[in-house]
Amino acid sequence: MAPVVCPYMVYMRFKPHLLMVLIQIGYTFLYFITAASFDHGMNPHVFVTYRHIVGGLVMFPFAYFLERKVRPKFTLALFLEIFVLSLLGVSLTLNIYFASLKYTSPTFVTSIANTIPSLTFLIAVILRLETVDVMSPHGIAKVFGTLLSLAGVMTMTLYRGPTVQSFPGASVHIRSDSVHKNWTKGSILIVASCISWSIWFIMQGITLKKYPAQLSLTTWINCVGAAQSAVFTVIIEHKQAAWSISYNNEFWSILYAGIVCSGITIFVQLWCIKQKGPVFVTMFSPLATSLVAVMAYFILGETLHVGRILGAVIIIIGLYLVLWGKDIDENHSRPQDQVILTGDELKKPKIQMEPLAESQVLETDLEKKGAIVG
Task: Tell me how far apart the alpha carbons of residues 221 and 52 are, in angstroms, rounded to a whole number.
Answer: 9
Give the CA distances from residue 302 to residues 51, 167, 170, 176, 373, in Å, rounded to whole numbers and listed in that order: 27, 8, 9, 9, 97
Distance CA 281, CA 276 (A): 8
Give CA separation, 329 vs 136, 324, 334, in Å: 10, 9, 9
Which residues, in sequence order, are CB contacts of 9 under 8 Å at separation 6+? 340, 341
Tally of residues, the chain: 374
Which residues are CB-neighbours of 98 under 8 A, at least 6 positions away? 34, 38, 44, 45, 47, 48
Average pLDDT over residues 239-251: 84
pLDDT value of residue 289: 74
Condensed to tens digits (0 to 9), the pLDDT of residues 79-106 reads 999 999 999 988 888 888 877 877 887 6
Distance CA 312, CA 360 (A): 66
pLDDT tens for 192-244 read: 898 899 999 999 989 999 999 999 999 999 999 999 999 999 988 888 888 98
Domain borders along the chain are 7-169+177-331
Q: Residue 318's closest CA among 150, 145, 152, 153?
A: 145
3-state secondary structure of 169: coil
Confidence of residue 177 (pLDDT cuts 50, 70, 90): very low
Q: Which residues contact 87 (CB under 8 A, 6 or more apart)?
A: 225, 228
pLDDT tens track for 355-370: 444 444 445 554 554 5
How far apart are alpha carbons 8 and 255 in whole angstroms?
34
Query: pTM, whole model, 2 decimals?
Result: 0.77
CA distance 370 to 374: 6
CA distance 170 to 300: 6
CA angle, 251 then 252 then 256, to 5°: 125
User: Could you write out the DSSP letters of every residue in 333-356?
Assistant: HS-GGGSPPBHHHHHSPPP--HHH
| Angle subtended by helix axes 306-333 and 285-298, to nearest 10 | 150
82 vs 152: which has the higher pLDDT = 82
- CA 208: distance to chain centroid? 15
**Residue 158: per-residue pLDDT:** 75
pLDDT in tens, 108-150: 776 677 778 878 888 888 888 877 777 888 888 888 888 887 7
Using DSSP, state whether 5 is helix, strand or coil: strand
Question: What residues does 164 pair with on adjacent strands?
Answer: 304
Taking residues 247-254, report their average pLDDT.
86
Q: At what angle do helices 306-333 and 137-158 cross, to 10 degrees?
A: 160
| Separation between Cα atoms, residue 114 and residue 183, nearest integer Å | 18
Burial of 242 (0-12, 13-18, 19+ CB in 10 A): middle
- Write out pLDDT tens, residues 9-44: 878 878 998 999 999 999 989 888 887 888 788 888
Environment class of 367 (CB within 10 Å of its CB; exposed 0-12, middle 13-18, buried 19+): exposed
16 or 336, greater pLDDT: 16
- Report residue 349 CA to chain centroid gap: 41
Cα–Cα distance, 31 to 289 (Å, whole number): 10
The residues, ordered by sequence, that sit 6+ positions from 63 with a Cβ below 8 Å of its Cβ are 71, 213, 215, 216, 218, 219
